[in-house]
């Protein structure tokens, strides 16, 4: 698949880039995408939820009434889960929601996501660029020139660039990552994928 490289003004240049068929033109695997996205979202969870059980609630351990002869159900101390202010039965405890996923499956998921975007025509290749200083207005102009200002966009850099990252940080609908940071969730969540010219080779090296 050949794509014309664009400049930061949004105009076509004379250069063309050939995208690897084994990455951008495979038969997408929906289950691999599901598992990779599920793992990504699970890893975002803090898992710090906690409730007190009857052994942790403050209160007396005295038996509140005699065992028999009251006509009501037997009861122990005031911390019984059936009483108001008592402990909770089988309440949530701090835990890690993460789970392992085979590296081959993760690669397949990313390839599938890129193939979906390529089929939709949602991939743009941009000339390598940099900003001398962080400036959100310049970044907005760039998105406007590429006609993705009102869309969810993902810009993939070859290497980390602090000025470009800081310029995009205040904008909700766009995200800047390096080639080594791409994940299936970000790829599927974005309406437009913008690959810098230098990032293509790095993506291919990672996913092959």
Taking only the tens place, the pLDDT of each residue in 8-41 is 998 988 899 999 999 999 999 999 999 999 999 9
66 CA to centre of own chain:
57
Taking only the tens place, the pLDDT of each residue in 193-205 is 999 999 999 999 9
Q: Residue 208: which pLDDT band, with cuts at 50, 70 and 90?
A: confident
Structure tokens at 112: 């599938």
**184 touches 110 (CB < 8 A):** yes
Distance CA 66, CA 23 (A): 73
**131 touches 163 (CB < 8 A):** yes
- Residue 85: the pLDDT is 92
pTM score, two decimals? 0.84
Q: Residue 1: which pLDDT band, with cuts at 50, 70 and 90?
A: confident
Distance CA 169, CA 80 (A): 50
Structure tokens at 96: 């890690």
Mean pLDDT confidence for 78-107: 95
Domains, the chain = 2-46+98-207 (3.40.1370.10), 51-91 (no CATH)
């Amino acid at each position: 698949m050949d794509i014309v490289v664009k400049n930061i003004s949004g105009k076509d240049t004379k250069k063309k880039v050939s995208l690897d068929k084994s990455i951008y033109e495979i038969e997408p695997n929906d289950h691999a995408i599901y598992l990779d996205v599920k793992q990504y979202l699970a890893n975002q969870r803090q898992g710090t939820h906690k409730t007190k059980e009857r052994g942790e609630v403050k209160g007396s351990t005295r038996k509140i009434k005699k065992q028999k002869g009251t006509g009501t159900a037997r009861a122990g101390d005031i911390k019984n889960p059936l009483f108001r202010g008592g402990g909770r039965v089988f309440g949530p405890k701090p835990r890690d929601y993460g789970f392992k996923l085979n590296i081959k499956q993760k690669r397949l998921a990313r390839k599938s996501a890129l193939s979906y975007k390529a089929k939709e025509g949602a991939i743009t290749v941009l000339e390598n660029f940099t900003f001398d200083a962080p400036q959100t207005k310049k970044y907005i102009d760039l998105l406007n020139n590429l006609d993705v200002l009102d869309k969810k966009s993902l810009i993939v850099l070859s290497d980390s660039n602090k000025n470009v990252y800081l310029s995009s940080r205040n904008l909700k609908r766009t995200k800047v990552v390096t080639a080594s940071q791409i994940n299936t969730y970000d790829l599927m969540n974005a309406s437009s994928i913008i690959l810098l010219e230098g990032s293509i080779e790095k993506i291919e090296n990672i996913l092959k």
